[in-house]
Amino acid sequence: MKTKILNITLLFFTLAIFAQEKLTPEIEGNTVTYRFTVDEKMVNFSGKEVEAMAVNNSIPAPTLTFTEGQNAVIYVTNSMSVETSVHWHGLILPNFQDGVPYLNTPPILPGKTHKFEFPINQSGTYWYHSHTGLQEQRGVYGAIVIKPKEKTFEYDYDLSLVLSDWIDEKPKSVLKNLKRGNEWYSIKRRTTQPLSKTIANGALGAQLKLWSKRMPGIDISDVAFDAFLTNGKPTQNYKQFKAGDKVRVRMVNASAATYFWITIGGKAMLISSDGIDVVPVHREKVLHAIAETYDYIVTIPESGAVEIRATAQDGSGYTSAVLGSGTVTKAKVLPAPDYMKMLKEMGNMKKMKSDKMSIQKDNAMSDMDGMKEDMKMSGMKNEDTKMNGMKMDGMQKGMKMNNEFSYDYLKSPVKTTIHSELPTKEIELNLTGNMLRYVWTINNKVLSEVDKIKIKRGEKTRITLNNKTMMHHPMHLHGHFFRVLNANGAYSPLKHTVNVPPMGSITIEFDANETGDWFFHCHVLYHAKAGMARIFSYGDAKDPRLVKYPLSNLTKADKTIYKWGEATVASHMTSVALVATNTYNQFNFSTEYGWNKNVEIIADYERYLGTYFRAYAGIEFENEIEDSLGDIETVGRLGVRWLLPYFIDSDLSIDTQLRPQIGFSTAVPIFPRVLLQGMWQWQADLGFKNDLPIGKDIVSDYTWNVGLEYILSKNFSLSGSYDNRFGTGGGLTMRF
């Protein structure tokens, strides 16, 4: 009796799990219809209740299931107070159905329902998500499973696992915090590299070398997340599987900003990448870039259960799922990244360059040996390695990266070469950015300041992606699959999203055979929002259904003005600083008031003319004599500011009384939460104000201060300083 009750309970538990993951469709003939609603929902993933966005009250959204050859009809109702959208990631469909608002699909306005309709002409694992603002971070994402007409792999069960990251903070606040350069997220993840750590680990020289190049240090992720989730929970247990079962595990990385290392206990074979079959391969660990999908066939071991573990690449946490019941065959636990080792390696880049040719030669020879073996197995002829006219050095360029991040383990079971007679359009795109100001670009330009990239039907488009930054960038092209050129030559894999590792290079190519405009962007959500995106255009006329939806509503995202402030109340003075900034423009306001009645108020506008150089114009109010608030003079000022090596901010200017001024300021992390700050400013009066002979009675004045700041939290710090105007004191700083 107890066993029967247990079995019934287990059955209901299993049904409940799948009810959360799947949405029952309406099926009529060859048409499969889904209806769902996007709405706000209160959730608690980390011990704190916050507002999120959900599809049919579910995070992740319900799994949509189709069979190749069917016709999909999907009604999306927006029950929120803001507009939304849905992009069908990885699906090949008509341009108008792609789901990028203002580019190829209308936005779904509050209270409205949008009908998507498209044929299902492919199979595999894909996903869908909002393409509006930062909504994807808030929960609008779910899996798509498309069964093939004919089964290509043998397995007993199907299971979709949607991986995601979660932060309680509002995504807009996260991006603002990244823009202002606050180090709180690194402190929270314990990945800071202050002087105390680098000295203790013998990495001071490497750190100074990076600082001399204005590189702040080594980091893998931008954001400190509060939870990592598998199908909406930190851990999952799917007990319905038993020993010997073969489960096709479909894994979607739906994170906003987290790469995952996947490790699986027991026996598992990787069989698919981005929905396309690959030659089955066993890997000890696989890096799942954001927006990629990977399928595995996992065999449940004799012990009865197996663990699948997804570890955040930056080592800040993990999420896991256990398949089956019984003694769990654990997945390998990966150590956290050794940031000091990475820092030393970066500092030794000059030496590494001297060894680079021999290293690359060894790697290339190893790759070629692998290709020869593959040719023997497949009957592939040597001339196929020419990849239809592409030079081998082009392929080797695509292999110049850390082998840990190489795609060479992915091999298509069929040739993927594009017809050699097609004319080839070569495009080189450099992935660039300014981590300090959190501006992410392609060829040093944000989306809003460039034209569409023209491509032509009937051509082969080959794109070389060069990552000039120290961050990973998962680049996704809508509406297309492309070949990722790797060591497998004619059998290079097809993908829709490709990771370009730090300082690495990847070459992709595709047959330009579509119509309309298609989005191409980094799938780190905050990078795309900050400008790392482009539009590929076939040059077709705009769909008349989009006429009233201007494209500028999409491209202006990187023009958003972010505002923040900082206020300090101390025993010797008080100050307030306000900033409003976008990609190239910044407005600054600051005021300092000492208890000795010395006051200074500055307001200026600055324009970024380069990554580290800006010109500015402003106005200042200051009393020159202590205890004399009535004696305040007003001057205008023109100047330039330039961030020097070692993060020394310099300021050279002249005011309306022709008094030159020069200043320097910096902040150096000496402990994980402690900054050493300093400022020195010198001004000369050449006599113009008093109509004196120029240079006869030059009067100069200088201001300086030095202090320590202890960071308590994202919004509060304790500080102590000495200022030659205000004296010594300490107090509290609040950021807002």
Segment 96-149, tens digit of pLDDT:
999 999 999 999 999 999 999 999 999 999 999 999 999 999 999 999 999 999
Length of the chain equals 736
Residues ≥6 apart with Cβ < 8 Å to 311: 260, 261, 263, 317, 318, 333, 334
Determine the pLDDT at residue 632. Answer: 83
State the DSSP code for 348.
Answer: T
Residues ≥6 apart with Cβ < 8 Å to 144: 63, 64, 65, 66, 88, 90, 91, 125, 126, 127, 128
Determine the pLDDT at residue 696. Answer: 56
Sketch out the chain's domains with CATH numbers: 19-150 (2.60.40.420), 151-173+215-344 (2.60.40.420), 383-540 (2.60.40.420), 562-735 (2.40.160)
Determine the pLDDT at residue 1. Answer: 44
How far apart are the C-alpha atoms of 109 and 141, rounded to whole Å? 18
137, 167 contact by CB (below 8 A) = yes
pLDDT at 395 over 90: no
For CA atoms 467, 471, 477, 482, give the dihedral sign: positive
pLDDT in tens, 37-94: 999 999 999 999 999 999 999 999 999 999 999 999 999 999 999 999 999 999 999 9
pLDDT in tens, 243-282: 999 999 999 999 999 999 999 998 999 999 999 999 999 9
Phi and psi torsions of 18, nearest 5°: -70, -25
pLDDT in tens, 182-201: 899 999 999 999 999 999 99
Q: Which of 304, 187, 332, 183 is nearest to 238 (CA)?
A: 304
Phi and psi torsions of 534, nearest 5°: -145, 170
pTM of the model: 0.89
**Segment 518-530 mean pLDDT:** 97
pLDDT class of 403 with cuts at 50, 70, 90? confident
234, 227 contact by CB (below 8 A) = yes
pLDDT at 430 over 50: yes
579, 602 contact by CB (below 8 A) = no
Q: Which of 688, 636, 643, 684 is nearest to 661 (CA)?
A: 684
Q: What is the dihedral of CA 15, 18, 24, 25, to 10 degrees?
A: -140
Determine the pLDDT at residue 695. Answer: 53
pLDDT at 494 over 50: yes
Please list, residue by residue across 285-318, b when 16 or more beta carbons sit within 10 angstroms of its beta carbon and e when fewer do: bbbbbbbbbbbbbbbbbeebbbbbbbbbbbbbbb
State the DSSP code for 373.
Answer: H
**Segment 600-604 mean pLDDT:** 96
Residues ≥6 apart with Cβ < 8 Å to 4: none
pLDDT at 674 over 80: yes
Percent of the chain with pLDDT strictly greater than 70: 87
Q: Describe the crossing of helices 204-212 and 339-347 by its angle, rounded to 10 degrees.
A: 60
Average per-residue pLDDT in the chain? Answer: 89
Q: What's 515-572 look like in SS3? A: CCEEEEEECCHHHHHCCCEEEEECCCCCCHHHCCCCCHHHHHHHHCCEEEEEEEEECC
